[in-house]
Structure 1
């Protein structure tokens, strides 16, 4: 019997994508396979896409599966939620057809309308079991009026509507945009950059090219090289949108169509681009050892998303600062934004950072009304850990090194030399190599532990300190948030340890009265009241009336500002200068 991997290696695989009725949000897929030597073949669809750590069950969108050889139907059956087993009846080749419903406006799902066809590989292309290493060709038949294809996949000759992938990892990591996008670009070093702006927007082409080129060069300088020959920014401009996802040689960004017109909106776009572009090194190549080779059938667990995402979140604003677009003060305000989020999230005292990474599959992408009490963002807390490492390295090396040097070293050591991912211990050792000291304290307290973060220990290295402007206040609060204005006054969140938490107010309670007076606003409840005062809230809970007495507690939320210490030393000034260099 032939080894399954050897049999898979003999397969020739071609796809055709067509959009005969794009207005109905369907893409039609035809898959042709030849060189089959087995009596049956299993065709599988991934359940998740790299860069978005949640099982998304892409097979739920697949309809009208059929299989044939030479016009004769072949018998098939589903063996699990995303696997179709076809009996070949002696045939050596196979044609499979299926339809995919594509109408989720996100960077990680197919989205097809009469205006665009956005194709995510993992949610589109069935693959033969055992054939992840196989090459494939994709032919695209565009919807009427569509005249462009934007993707990082190589085209065949001059035919933009035929592209090839050397293996399925590349195919699944190379989204395809078909439509009438505005395409322009620039060159940085030996890398050609394409920018595909989809569905309009009030952007300035020339400014965008200039600034993205500077951004790319700032990030390339950190790692010492750009490993891509081509890179594509796919930008989806919608009326309400936000977010992005990284790929090996491209990224997909969702941006509010007219946000480019304000300086703040344009800078947010650049920060998003900086984040996703930084990933081409950090996570796509310099990666946790668990993230590749991928198993597309199940979750791929790692405790290191705080590095993959958190460090990238640290560098995105830092890179825009290095471009000269954020002042030092504005950049430090962005640091305090993460600090405020961490300390104002009760879940930061419940879920360690490493656990937040591991449980991303079941928690981060599936938030509930209690998420703020049970978890912490590995983006925000990971970003602050990156800042601590950066300052520790600058101080420990007396300004010779920074976190940039550790990232470059780790990239060379594990991606280029060892050609594998790093373990947690190896990443830690890479940081310590440049800090000249152990960083056990940070790991034990803030990564695997639940200690309150001592921001000032590390900010002091740069002659700075965080000051909580709310520290001396004694303001009462219920500890809840409410549903949006214009809707019924329902409780949306109850914070752990708050007055509402202790005395039994629930999410989805509709507040009707306070001490017998009709409810107006949340602020009105605490106005002219003190910590320790009692109020009685009348609520409707699942249609039943309740009267709940609550003792108001102090609002323990923080609001940090970063300020200079009096009379900083020369060493502190040197650390700050190295850290905030432009």
Structure 2
């Protein structure tokens, strides 16, 4: 027994020593950027096995869809000591290199990058944006291994922007403590306009690609305000430095959070308009708030990551929905929204979710869990069967925040829950479960939230908007109440001069009386259809209960449908701050805002 134990200890010791001696380095070059390619060289030394498997992630954390990044890889090959090594593909995203116990292996491959988004790589003759999960491979079983990345910019390119730590004395060379850090660090290469500001004791770099009518000095001040408001909620800013990579296009949008950086899509000529500038700051607030919510305080399933498979969690409504909500709070507190604008935006958010038929079919936890197969893969019926965990999660955040403030008479708010969960996860060094989050809400509020969860988290109950906003002294009314508005229930789109139905709302006139998506709309009561159907006099001029004859072409066959117009089922909420609110309502409102 003693000999066996000794042998096992020696074997484990040798294995650990061998693993600790492994070194991994990448070198990225751009020989044909105009053709949208990156050349990647990966060196792995300290090997002891006969073979090594290298893998590429199939998805990017923060964007919950399997994107199959390996589809863009070509020209894979490997050498050792100057000799070509045998390799084979062993699964869709994995290559096995037969190293023959060579100590060091050099792997080369090319990546085609031509998809404009914040989550995918794009390369042309003006710049390279490297979304790391679609560029770098990792040795199987070595996700915790450190690595270095050297960037060789294309001729004329002079700058590299990334959240990775630079290696002292080596230009454009960076290090990552493990592959989680590498995959969480996008890289911008080119001639981007770079400026800096310091906020909450942290240096922030902003790398602007694509030009634009932005005012750098104004952005430095205003972005700093958002940083400081986010830090104020949590009491600390966990980064030493932070990088904003901003892609300015004719029409740009979207953002993706990372541990100490973010990628933003913006419209280059909208910075000097009120709505455009506010929209950009909204995006900054959303992605920066992720620094705490989801990058540190996260659902337990979201890290350590499985980069080869879906990572399911019922808690994306907290990770994304609450972040969508908090971008409004940061904007209010930073002075970019008035209280009236804040109320209007949130009341509209509640109204919009209430008008989605799928919100009464899919709970916010189901929406979170099914993100992988539903949110990013919508079809013509999605509006009737699903709801975005962003949108519905935001509404749950609004209601929960006000409920906590009401329960504590204005002493506490959702801010206190988020900070407590952040500190708890930091101490535990792991993510939270749904049960733990609910328990913290109940601890902070001193109230049982079982009924709230049954209605709004695990159920599909419509928001009791008058009740919750009323706690904060906000009067909310439904402008549609008591109105009689004939409504067909279709959305349509003109294609090559012909009008087609693109979606039908559940239980509306069109749904009940047989119209279908892809029907070509020809006429209503003999009047040719030339514009959006719902706005045609043939609909707006009728009364609820009237019957219209709608002619369509379905698969080339003309058909007439008699459709009875029902009343518009939606709501349109308007909020008003009550100046005669009670002292309790004012305290709740203050805690909330």
Q: Per the shorter chain, which TM-score range?
A: over 0.9
- Structure 1 unaligned runs (5+)? none
* 1:275–1:312 Cα contact (<8 Å) kept: yes
1:100 is aligned to: 111
For the structure 1 residues 85 and 363, does the alpha-carbon distance in structure 2 shift closer, same or farther, using more than 3 Å as the test? same
**1:483-522, aligned counterparts within 5 Å?**
483-484=493-494, 487-521=497-531, 522=533
Q: Give the Cα–Cα distance (whole angstroms) in 1 for the partners of residues 169 and 566 of structure 2.
A: 69
1:7-55, Cα deviation, whole Å (9 max, x unpaired)? 5443211111011111110101011111111011100000001100110
2:558 is aligned to: 545
CA drift at 1:381: 1.2
1:352 is aligned to: 363
TM superposition score normalised by structure 1: 0.97
2:334 is aligned to: 323
* 2:262–2:287 Cα contact (<8 Å) kept: yes
Match of 2:59 among 48, 67, 85: 48
**1:277-288, aligned counterparts within 5 Å?**
277-288=288-299
**1:217-232, aligned counterparts within 5 Å?**
217-232=228-243
Match of 1:76 among 87, 107, 129: 87
CA drift at 1:317: 1.3
Q: Give the Cα–Cα distance (whole angstroms) in 2 for the partners of residues 114 and 251 of structure 1.
A: 23
For the structure 1 residues 484 and 432, does the alpha-carbon distance in structure 2 shift closer, same or farther, using more than 3 Å as the test? farther
1:135 is aligned to: 146
For the structure 1 residues 487 and 128, does the alpha-carbon distance in structure 2 shift closer, same or farther, using more than 3 Å as the test? farther
Q: Give the Cα–Cα distance (whole angstroms) in 2 for the partners of residues 487 and 85 of structure 1.
A: 53
Q: Give the Cα–Cα distance (whole angstroms) in 1 for the partners of residues 51 and 170 of structure 2.
A: 34
Match of 2:467 among 457, 463, 470: 457
**1:192-211, aligned counterparts within 5 Å?**
192-211=203-222
1:569 is aligned to: 582
1:458-507, Cα deviation, whole Å (9 max, x unpaired)? 11111113211111211111100111587521111100111111111111
CA drift at 1:134: 0.5
CA drift at 1:92: 1.8
1:479 is aligned to: 489
Match of 2:24 among 13, 19, 22: 13
The residue matched to 1:261 in structure 2 has which SS? coil
- Structure 2 unaligned runs (5+)? 1-10
Q: Give the Cα–Cα distance (whole angstroms) in 2 for the partners of residues 92 and 429 of structure 1.
A: 52
* 2:551–2:558 Cα contact (<8 Å) kept: yes
CA drift at 1:338: 1.2
* 2:65–2:373 Cα contact (<8 Å) kept: yes
2:199 maps to 1:177: no
* 1:148–1:160 Cα contact (<8 Å) kept: no
2:172 maps to 1:161: yes
CA drift at 1:323: 1.2
Q: Give the Cα–Cα distance (whole angstroms) in 2 for the partners of residues 270 and 196 of structure 1.
A: 15
2:437 maps to 1:437: no
CA drift at 1:366: 1.1
For the structure 1 residues 210 and 172, does the alpha-carbon distance in structure 2 shift closer, same or farther, using more than 3 Å as the test? same
2:566 maps to 1:556: no
CA drift at 1:508: 1.2
2:401 maps to 1:390: yes
* 1:385–1:442 Cα contact (<8 Å) kept: no
Q: Give the Cα–Cα distance (whole angstroms) in 2 for the partners of residues 392 and 487 of structure 1.
A: 51
1:421 is aligned to: 431
2:472 maps to 1:466: no
After alignment, is 185-194 or 131-140 more displaced? 185-194
How many residues of Structure 1 are paired with residues of Structure 2 in the alignment?
579
1:291-340, Cα deviation, whole Å (9 max, x unpaired)? 11000010000000000001101100111111111111111111022112
For the structure 1 residues 7 and 52, does the alpha-carbon distance in structure 2 shift closer, same or farther, using more than 3 Å as the test? farther
Q: Give the Cα–Cα distance (whole angstroms) in 2 for the partners of residues 126 and 544 of structure 1.
A: 53
2:33 is aligned to: 22
1:192-246, Cα deviation, whole Å (9 max, x unpaired)? 1101111101100000000111110010000000010010011100111210000
The residue matched to 2:62 in structure 1 has which SS? coil
* 1:34–1:93 Cα contact (<8 Å) kept: yes
* 1:152–1:231 Cα contact (<8 Å) kept: yes
After alignment, is 241-250 or 332-341 more displaced? 332-341
For the structure 1 residues 132 and 530, does the alpha-carbon distance in structure 2 shift closer, same or farther, using more than 3 Å as the test? same
2:544 maps to 1:526: no
* 1:9–1:131 Cα contact (<8 Å) kept: no
Q: Give the Cα–Cα distance (whole angstroms) in 1 for the partners of residues 411 and 329 of structure 2.
A: 19
TM superposition score normalised by structure 2: 0.95
Q: Give the Cα–Cα distance (whole angstroms) in 1 for the partners of residues 19 and 55 of structure 2.
A: 13
The residue matched to 1:502 in structure 2 has which SS? helix
2:274 is aligned to: 263
